[in-house]
Amino acid sequence: MDVNAAVAAAAAIAGVCTGVIAMLAFRWSERDQKRPTRTSLHTDPVLPPGVDTVLSVLRSSAVVLDEGDTVVKASSAAYALGLVRGGKLAVEPMLQMARDTRRDGEIRQVELDLPRRGTGRGDALAVSARVAPLGSRLVLLLVEDLTEARRIEAVRRDFVANVSHELKTPVGALSLLSEAVMDASDDPEAVERFAGRMQIEATRLTSLVQELIDLSRVQNDDPLEDAEPVRVDELVAEAIDRCRQPAATKQITMAAGGTADLQIWGNRGQLAAALGNLVENAVNYSPARTRVGIAARRVAAPGGDLIEVAVTDQGIGISEKDKERVFERFYRVDPARSRATGGTGLGLAIVKHVAASHGGEVTVWSSEGQGSTFTLRLPEAAAPRVPRKTPQASGPGDVRDEDDAHGPDRSTAYESIPAAPEVLP
């Protein structure tokens, strides 16, 4: 019995010792894990106080790199531009700039063109990258997207070049004609002929300057600030009256029809100019003794009813390659014919901007040799009015709509035109 008691006591003591040793080992291991190591100090740097807050409010894409080129902090914009992938800076020129700055402490800046991620497009992103040291071990990279700024600058250059070219033509003609008048001062018939040509060129110059002013106005003004209900019948009558004389000269019949008493919401002056440009184009590009029709109707739409005004002609028509560009500034389907009719290439660009700023659109259906139908769709006066963003120019012309550029069937436009159209004197 004494032997058994001694064995039990020894076993208890051994168990207690084992438990104490295990507890000490656990405590030692836990303390060792909490102790900072050389590796952890190297890979997990801490941003200086306040830097994280500053980076979060910057408009530029921000990336902070440690001494091992690992990304410590990156803004969401940096990921969106594809600068950071897998915790690393993915743009080699920027990575080399960061290494050079870490080595000598100098601030560096460069402009680069980066491929777009996942778009499949050939155009590139234009960015400005600036690298500066951040403390003793970190490097800060700030990237500004310059793509939009470069696009706008290209549009401005193209627009100035086009305007300069268009202005130079009538101005140069006036200069030459004035010299011809001086040389022919003793020939009354020649003076009269040259003076007539001078009047034509002066009229063309006046029209160009006025349309430039109109285009600038519709691009900068918000038409819905002074909007009012505008009767479509009045706009159509005004457009017909505006083109009455040139239509009579070519013996072109103009007919108006469709649904009566329609109203649209917007700036009366801009709407009248837009519809007037469509009718004027139809008359100018139609052969003699043909017909131009203007038809208005109401069409149902998810956001509210739309008023659709279609201007149909029997003119030369527009080819498939030209249909997508007819709304660009200064673009002419037939430059020689446009200059003969006094066209400036700005009329349809004005129509496009007016339609977009009023929450509508303008489309074109055309077939070569059969004529064209330009359709202006605008919200009805009683419908909700949500203006679209005015299109920006992406080159020599405007950004084109991605909608199908086919207007209504020509027969639809003519069905609403009365059988006994108005015949101009």
| Model pLDDT for residues 291-347, shown as the tens digit of each residue | 999 999 999 888 888 999 999 998 888 888 888 788 887 776 665 555 555 556 778
For residue 84, pLDDT beyond 90: no
What does the pLDDT read at residue 236? 94
d(CA 390, CA 398): 10
Structure tokens at 272: 């009248």
What does the pLDDT read at residue 157? 77
For residue 377, pLDDT beyond 60: yes
Please give the single-letter amino acid code of residue 407.
Answer: G
**Mean pLDDT (the chain, rounded):** 76
The region that residue 420 occupies, defined by phi over 0 for left and psi between -120 and 50 for alpha, beta otherwise, is beta
What does the pLDDT read at residue 330? 72
Return the closest-CA partner of residue 88 out of 64, 106, 104: 64
pLDDT tens, 226-285? 778 999 999 999 999 999 998 999 999 999 988 888 999 888 888 998 999 999 989 988
What does the pLDDT read at residue 399? 37
Structure tokens at 217: 């106005």
Percent residues over pLDDT 90 in the chain: 17
Q: How many CB atoms lie within 10 A of CB 50?
A: 8
Strand partners, 378: 307
What does the pLDDT read at residue 40? 35
Q: Which residue has the higher pLDDT, 227 or 374?
A: 374
Q: Which residue has the higher pLDDT, 82 or 310?
A: 310
What does the pLDDT read at residue 43? 39
pLDDT tens, 270-279? 899 899 999 9
What does the pLDDT read at residue 343? 57
d(CA 275, CA 285): 16
Q: How many CB atoms lie within 10 A of CB 319?
A: 11
For residue 7, pLDDT beyond 60: no
Indicate the SS3 state at residue 258: strand
